[in-house]
Structure 1
Amino acid sequence: MVRYEVFDARDLLSFPDGDNSTDTVFGGIHFNLTTLKHWNYTYYSNGTLSNNSKCYLTYEPYQPVLLYTNGSFINATKCYSAVDPIGVRGYVGIGFAAVFGIALMLTLTTLAKHGKMYLPKEKRFYPIGRRWQWYWGCFVCACALISLFTNIDVDRYHVQELPIIVTSFFWFLICQGTVALVWESVRHWGSWQERQFVDPNPFVYRTDDRRSKVEFYLPLWVYFWIWMNFFLVVPRSWTFVEMQRSPEQTLAKTIPTATGARFKAGAFCLVIASLTIVYSLRHSIYHYKPRNRGIFNRTWGFIKAIPMRFVLTIPLCLALVAYQVLISFDWTFSVMRYGGIVPVIFAWGYGPPLLILFVQIIYGFASPNEDKALIAQRRQRGEVIDQELGIVKKPAWWRRVRGEHLYTLRDKITQNVNEVGGKRGLKARFEDEEREPPLGGDLVTRSNNNTIEMNSLSHNPRVDRAGVGNLSSMGESRRYTGKSDRRHNERVVEDASGVIFPNNAEAERQAQRERWIHEISQDGPPSYSDTDRGRSTRHDGSNNAQRNDSTDTTDSTAAPPQQVRSMLDV
C-alpha cells in the first residue's frame, strides 16, 4: 500500500551541505544528493526524509547506511516506528489500563450476581433490563483498555500515525458508553421501585397513563441523542489526528478539524442525554417515593430520596460531558493532542468513567440480587399475614420428628384425602348418612317419620350443645361421622328442629323428593313394542319371538302418533 505523506511547505528544509554540490550528510554519513533529488526526496524539519511514498528517519542512530541508485536505502528506519522511549503519557496510561482491567473483572462478577434469575420471567420486567448497566460497564472497560494500551505508543512514535488515532477514537466511545451506563442505572432504579410496588398488587399502576408513556419514550429519547453523538463523531476520516508532524501542520490541518462543527454538535447531543438522565431520576422519585408538601419539604424529600451512588455518578457523568464540550472548543486540553497536558487528559478524560465504574461495582457487591430481595419481601408479607390470622408455623424440626420428610407424593395425597373425610367419594358418604339409624335408637324407616323415641337424644352431645339436651325424644335423625364442622352443625340444628317441631320440614322434603322420583319415572316415551313399529311377531312352542318376513306397513301407518311429553322425548 502506497502512503502519501502530507507536509506543509513551511516544514521543508534544504539538504545539509556535504563535501561538494552533489553531496549531503545525514548523521555523519554522506549520500549522493543527485540521486535523492532524482527520486524526489525532500528533507523536513522533523528530521525525516520522504518522497510522498516512503519516509525514513535521518538522525542518529536511525540514519540510513547506504543509498542505491534506484532510490532505496540500506539499514534505514521508517518514520512510523516506535523508536522513542515511553513518556509520561505512556506510563500513566499503563497504570490506568491496569485499574480498568480490574474494573472489568469486578464488573463481570457483579453482572453474574445481579443477572442471575431466581423467579420466573415477567413480561413487564425483562431480565435484560437489569443487566444493561453491567453490559455498558463492560463496554466502557473494553474501550478504555484499547485506548490506554495504544496510548503507550503515542509518545514512542516520532511521526504520529495509528496509535493516536485509535486512542482518540476509543475515547469518544468511552464517553458514549459512560453516558449510557449512567442512564441505564437510573432507568433501572426506577423500574426496580415500580416492581416492588407491582409485586404485591399488579393493578396499583396503570399501563396506559402518562407515567407509563413517559417511561416508554424516555429510553428512545436518550439513545437517540447518544447515537447522534456517535454518528457525528465516529463515521469520518480520522487521518487529521496524525497530522501533527510539525507545529505548522497542526495549526493548518488538525486543530480546525478537531474543533469543528461536528465535534461541537456531538458534544451538545451528550448534554441533552445527560439532562434527560436527571429528569428521569426526578420522574422516578416523584412517582415511587413519598411526596411532601411545601417547597422546602419537597426539596429536602427529593434530596433524601436520591440514592448515594447517583449523587456520585451523575455529577461525574456531567463532568465527562463537560470535558468533551471543552475540547471541542479548546485544542489545548484535547485528548487528541500529541504532547498534551497529561494531568488534564487522564484526570478529566479517563478519571470520571473509572470512578463511575467503581461506584457501580461497590453498589453491586453491597446490594442483593433483586429476585432474592423480592423473595424476602414476599416472605415478610406472608409472615405479617400469618400473624394477623393467628397462624403459627411449626419449626423446621417438626416434620423430621413426625417423619413427614420421608413421605412420598402418594403418602401426602393419602394424608390430605383422610383429612377431608376419608377415601370414599362425597356421594357415597351422603348415601351412607341417609341409611344410618337415628342416634341412640333402632333403625327407623322413612315411613315412620312421625314416630318419636324419647331415648334417642338422651346421650347426644351435639343436641346438648344446641340447647335441647334435656329432651329424650326426637324425630328421624341421622348420625354424621365426618370431620366437617359445617355439616356437623347443620345436623345438630336439624335434630333440634325435629325435636321442637315434630312435623318438621324434613318429612315434607322427603315426600316431595319421592313425588319427583315418581313423576320422573312416569315421564318419558312409552316402552318399546314391535307392534308400534309396524312389526308382527309369532310365537312358536319354544316361546321364542320370530320376525315376520312380510313387508306390510299397514300397522305402522294405522298406529296412533307418539305423544311427546317433554323435551327429553325428542
Structure 2
Amino acid sequence: MTLINVRDLLSFPQGDNATDTVINNIHFNLTTLNFWNYTYYSNGTLSNGSWCFLVDNPYTPVSVLSNGTFLNSTWCYVAIQPIGDRARAGIGFAVAFALSLIFIFVNLKKHGELHLPAEKRFYPIGRRWQWYWGIFVCAAALIGLFTGIDVDRYRVVELPLVLNVFFWFLLQMGVMALVWESVRHWGSWMERQFIDPNPFVLHQTDKRGMFELWLPIWFYFWLWLNFFLVIPRNWGAIELQRSPDQTVENAIPAATDGRFKAGTFCLFVCWCTIVVSLWHSILHYEPRNRGLFNRIIGFLGYMPFRFTLMLPLSLAVVGYQGLCAWDFALSPLNAKTNLLAMYLGGYAPTFLILLIQIIAGFLRPNEDRELQRQRRDRGQALDQELGLVRKPAWWRRANGDLPPGSMRDRIMRNVREVGGGRPTARNIETLAEQRAAEAESEAPGRNNSVIEMNEIQRTNSIRSNVPRSTPAPPPYTPYGGKSGQRRSERTMEVAADLLFPSANTGASTNRGRNTEANSDQPRRPGTSERSSSTVSGMSTSGNPQQIRSMLDV
C-alpha cells in the first residue's frame, strides 16, 4: 500500500552537554524541548501535537525560550514547497474546465431563449437545468483543482487536501445530475414534438405522465442521499497522513468506511434511473419494435449519439468512486495517490461529458426555432394536399399590404375610419345632413319638412276597408299607458313605418287603400286577405321599397 510520507521518529542530536541539542548548527535547550513534549521527525519538523515548526534549512529557528516559544520560526502548515505533478496536472484540467464554462454560458443563452410563448406543460427552466448543472460542475472542478495545488506545496498534509476531495465529490454529484437532466429533457422535448400537432393525444394524468412525474423525485432522492452520506462528516481524519501510523490508524479507515461505500451504491441507483428514463422516452415517443432483439437494436438506434457516449462515461464516474471507497492507494483522498488513476478516473470522464454536451449544444438548434420550422413544414404539407399556393412574404410588401406594427396602430386605424367623439352628436348628425341634402336634390318638389322618411304618424288598423278621404293623420305621440305589451306593439309599428316608408303609403294605411281603390287598375288583395296568389300584396306600380339604416332612427 502506498503511504503518504515516511515520517520516522528521530532522537535529538547530541549537543555540547546533556541539556543541549544541535539542529542545523543551531543550539536548542533539550530540557525545554522535552518539557513541552516536542518530537523531532525525519521530515525536518518539530511537533508536540499542538504546534509544529520547520527546523531544516533555511527555516531553522534561531532559539527556543523557556516557555516553549521558538524565535524566527516557520509554521508547518504553509505552502513552501514547489508544485509537483499533482498540481501541474490539476492546473491543466482547471484551464480545460474554465474554457468549458465559457462555452456552457454560450449554449445556455442559445437554448434558454424563448421564441414561443411559455407553456405550463413545458417550463423554460426545464431546458436550462442541464446547463445550470454544467456551470455547477465547472465551478466545483475549478475550486477543487486550484486548491489541490497546495496539496504538493504543503510539507505536512492539511486543509488543501480536504478542500480538493470535498469539491471532487460535489463534482461527481453534479456530473450525474447533468447527465440526468440531459436525458430527462430529451424525453420532454420528444413529448413536446409528439403533442404539438395534437395537444390532446397524451394526457398528463395517465400512467406515462405519472411515471414521468415521480421519476425525477426518485433520482434526486438517491442523489441527495449520496450527498448526505459523503459530505457531512469529520474530514479531520483524512488529514492525519503525517506518519505511517497516522495513515494506517486514521486516514485509511476514514477514507474507506461504510458511508463512502453506501454513497457509491446511491450513485449507481441514480445511473440506473437515467437508463430507465431513456428507455421510457424511447418506448413512448419512438416507433415500437417487436421482439427482444429488435427492441434492443431499436433502443440503441433511437438513442441520440451523445447519450451513447455519456452513459458509459457516467458509469465510469460511479465505478471510480466505488474503487476509491475500497482501495485507498487509488483514491484522491490519498495525498500521494496514483495520479494517473486519479485524473483518468476522477476528472477525465467528467470533462469528456462536458465536452460532448457542449458540442451537441452547438449542433442542435433552439427548440422553439425547431418547433416553428416543424409547424411551417406541416403547414406547407397541408397546403399541398389542399392545393393552396401561398404567396411569398415579399408579395405583401410589394403591394403595400403591410400589417400594422402593433395593436395600438390597429386601434388608431379603426378610430380614423369610424371617427371619434360622441357617436350621436358628430358623425351621425353629419350623415343625416348629407342624406337630407341628397333627398332634396332627388325630389325638389317635396315638402322640406320631410327629410328622408315619412313623418311619424298615427296609423289605423289595416283591417279597415272603409274608404275615407281624411287628411294626413297627426304626428305620432308616445304611448302613455302602463301596458308593456301595448308599448312594444306601438314601438314595432313606428319602427315598421320608419324602415318601410313606401310600404306604409301602399298597403298598411287607410290612405294607401283609398288611393288604390280610386285608381283605374283592378284592386289586388291586401296582405291581410286570403289569396291563393304567390305574389306580393304590393302593387307593381308602387315605388320599390328602400331599406334604410338603423342609424337613421
Is TM > 0.5 for Structure 1 vs Structure 2? yes
Shift of 1:398: 2.1
Partner deviation per Cα, 1:157-180 (whole Å, 9 max, x = no partner): 000101000001010001111111
Identity rate of aligned residues, in percent? 56
Q: What amino acid maps onto 2:76 in structure 1?
A: C
The answer for the alignment partner of 2:234 in structure 1 is 237
> Distance in 1 between the 2:223 and 2:10 partners?
46
The answer for the alignment partner of 2:87 in structure 1 is 90
Partner deviation per Cα, 1:442-481 (whole Å, 9 max, x = no partner): x998999xxxxxxxxxxxxxxxxxxxxxxxxxxxxxxxxx
* Equivalent position to 2:35, from 11, 35, 38: 38
Q: What amino acid maps onto 1:136 in structure 2?
A: W
Correspondence list, 1:186-225, <5 A: 186-225=183-222
> Distance in 1 between the 2:8 and 2:85 partners?
27
> Distance in 2 between the 1:25 and 1:505 partners?
141
After TM superposition, the structure 1 stretch with the greater mean CA deviation from structure 2, 354-363 or 395-404, is 395-404
Shift of 1:30: 1.6
Gaps in structure 1 of 5+ consecutive residues: 1-7, 418-422, 425-430, 438-442, 449-501, 509-570
Shift of 1:503: 4.6
> Distance in 2 between the 1:168 and 1:375 partners?
46
The answer for the alignment partner of 1:297 in structure 2 is 294
The answer for the alignment partner of 2:410 in structure 1 is 409
Correspondence list, 1:18-167, <5 A: 18-167=15-164
Shift of 1:192: 0.4
Correspondence list, 1:436-447, <5 A: none
> Distance in 2 between the 1:333 and 1:100 partners?
23
> Distance in 2 between the 1:226 and 1:176 partners?
7
Residues 1:507 and 1:132: Cα distance change in structure 2 (over 3 Å) = farther
> Distance in 2 between the 1:507 and 1:222 partners?
85
> Distance in 2 between the 1:285 and 1:308 partners?
14
Shift of 1:22: 1.1
Secondary structure in structure 2 of the residue aligned to 1:30: strand
Q: What amino acid maps onto 2:254 in structure 1?
A: T
TM-score, length-scaled by structure 2: 0.73
Partner deviation per Cα, 1:527-549 (whole Å, 9 max, x = no partner): xxxxxxxxxxxxxxxxxxxxxxx
Q: What amino acid maps onto 2:410 in structure 1?
A: L
> Distance in 1 between the 2:228 and 2:412 partners?
67
Q: What amino acid maps onto 2:127 in structure 1?
A: R
Secondary structure in structure 1 of the residue aligned to 2:46: strand
Q: What amino acid maps onto 2:67 in structure 1?
A: N
Partner deviation per Cα, 1:305-342 (whole Å, 9 max, x = no partner): 01011001111000000000011011110011111111
8 Å CA contact 1:46–1:245 kept in 2: the answer is: no
Could you list the runs of 4 or more consecutive aligned residues of structure 1 that deviate by over 6 angstroms after TM superposition? 414-417, 434-437, 443-448, 505-508
Q: What amino acid maps onto 1:232 in structure 2?
A: L
> Distance in 2 between the 1:141 and 1:505 partners?
91
The answer for the alignment partner of 2:544 in structure 1 is none
Q: CA RMSD in A?
A: 3.2
Partner deviation per Cα, 1:141-196 (whole Å, 9 max, x = no partner): 00000010011111110001010000010100011111111001000000000011
Secondary structure in structure 2 of the residue aligned to 1:404: coil
After TM superposition, the structure 1 stretch with the greater mean CA deviation from structure 2, 368-377 or 38-47, is 38-47
> Distance in 1 between the 2:361 and 2:178 partners?
14
Secondary structure in structure 2 of the residue aligned to 1:405: coil
Secondary structure in structure 1 of the residue aligned to 2:263: helix
Residues 1:31 and 1:505: Cα distance change in structure 2 (over 3 Å) = farther
8 Å CA contact 1:93–1:151 kept in 2: the answer is: yes
Shift of 1:415: 12
Secondary structure in structure 2 of the residue aligned to 1:328: helix
Secondary structure in structure 2 of the residue aligned to 1:319: helix
Secondary structure in structure 1 of the residue aligned to 2:215: helix
> Distance in 2 between the 1:157 and 1:409 partners?
73
> Distance in 1 between the 2:43 and 2:535 partners?
120
Gaps in structure 2 of 5+ consecutive residues: 419-427, 432-495, 513-531, 539-553
Correspondence list, 1:515-530, <5 A: none
* Equivalent position to 2:305, from 304, 308, 321: 308
Shift of 1:51: 2.4
Shift of 1:21: 1.1
> Distance in 2 between the 1:339 and 1:173 partners?
21
Correspondence list, 1:257-296, <5 A: 257-296=254-293
Residues 1:22 and 1:411: Cα distance change in structure 2 (over 3 Å) = closer
> Distance in 2 between the 1:175 and 1:156 partners?
25
How many residues were matched structurally? 437
Q: Which has the higher contact order (CA 8 A, sep 6+)?
A: 2
The answer for the alignment partner of 2:344 in structure 1 is 347
> Distance in 1 between the 2:55 and 2:209 partners?
68
